[in-house]
Structure 1
């Protein structure tokens, strides 16, 4: 994707402004404003990614997030499952992005000796969360939520390939979706739960996108051909 630096900065400011308006609307209880701004967040961030020359799959992950954001506002179990499916498709896009980057990116690599320990930690986090939520989830949502949680955790673990910023984004996504699941299970909620869900979600998507862009930029800088050294006496007449 050809970078368009002149367009990137205004899009970033637009995303920041939309985020501020949306979160402010949640705090103020302005439901109509929150409903209008929520579906606009990820498309603007996707446009920013493309303006930075980011991969189309990364923009696709964000647009699938927009689909999930929109569907989850409608309500109802069937629509909720469709929204979860849209988010799941976004996680698949992220996993493909991370797989293409592999260990060849410019991000700080995770030492091989730590990989097994990290995988075990993410696995324990998944198992513990699902086990705690399972008895309190509606019966028809237990299997879909467990399957989605597995994919989400795989995405969060895969984000380690793109560096610490992307890894933080993966963990924030886990936090945001756990807050949603705890609401489905009718656990006690924080005051203004939608605010905390969206704050962690928007931060997650931004950290994931920015982390991938930084890793790609570092790779491009490292692999760019270097100018050939000048030969002794070159240019002397």
Structure 2
């Protein structure tokens, strides 16, 4: 016979198991949706790609919520960045300048989310920081001439994108890779927009692949960093009295 005390102890464990199941279901749904989206991009099935792209980030946000990280400024702003990224994926199809604007706001949300971790980022490593500066110069050099009247928005977006990638490195290695993947994705997007390239379907596939990987890695990095900071603060003070 289960005592009341033991029964009460089982309920939190059962709830935790239920939350894990929800997380796995959402993660599986996101994975399936992402694979179908990538397949549609590769084969040029634009209508199908639009549908799967519409559901991808909401499912990722669902995974973030189901993971139940400590809710702080980083997590709130991260959700804002994901929402504006999703708007860029959907509403941004109206026009390229709308897409740039929405993704620019998303980058500002990400910058705000990762700012508390700046002391651990590449901002403190001059050689690595110089590498990101060179990356920004190359990005602008490649895109500014064909951008024409969009040159200023492209430059502003490029600067924000690289700043986000630098700050994301303060989270952990996942953040570093995620930030760089975002730079790759948006550089390919700009090249696809401003240059006539062979194999456009392959380019769409690569853009979406690097974009989805970037978003996943940034979520994993932020949740891990926030949990680590929260756990560290919860540790009892071990200093001698």
Return the TM-score normalized by structure 2: 0.81
Q: CA RMSD in A?
A: 2.2
Give the C-alpha shift of residue 53 in structure 1: 2.4
Distance 1:73 1:110 in 2: 34
Distance 1:166 1:110 in 2: 10
| Structure 1 partner of 2:213 | 203
Is 1:18 matched with 2:27?
A: no
How many residues are treated as equivalent by the alignment?
A: 215
Give the C-alpha shift of residue 42 in structure 1: 1.0
Contact 1:61 1:91 in 2 (8 A): yes
Give the C-alpha shift of residue 223 in structure 1: 2.4
Superposed CA offset, 1:30-83 (max 9, x none): 222111111211111112112222412111111110000113433xxxx22122
Distance 2:68 2:235 in 1: 19
- Unaligned stretches of 5+ in structure 1? 104-108, 229-237
- Unaligned stretches of 5+ in structure 2? 1-15, 70-74
Give the C-alpha shift of residue 5 in structure 1: 3.7
Distance 1:102 1:7 in 2: 33
Q: Secondary structure at the match of 1:24?
A: helix
| Structure 2 partner of 1:159 | 168
Contact 1:134 1:142 in 2 (8 A): yes
Superposed CA offset, 1:111-162 (max 9, x none): 87x622222211111012212322222x211111011100001001110110
Mapping for residues 56-75 of structure 1, pairs under 5 Å: 56-74=76-94
Return the TM-score normalized by structure 1: 0.83
Runs of 4+ with deviation above 4 angstroms: 109-112
Mapping for residues 160-179 of structure 1, pairs under 5 Å: 160-179=169-188
Distance 1:196-1:5 versus aligned 2 partners, 3 A rule: same
Q: Which residue, 45, 48, 53 being the options, matches 2:63?
A: 48
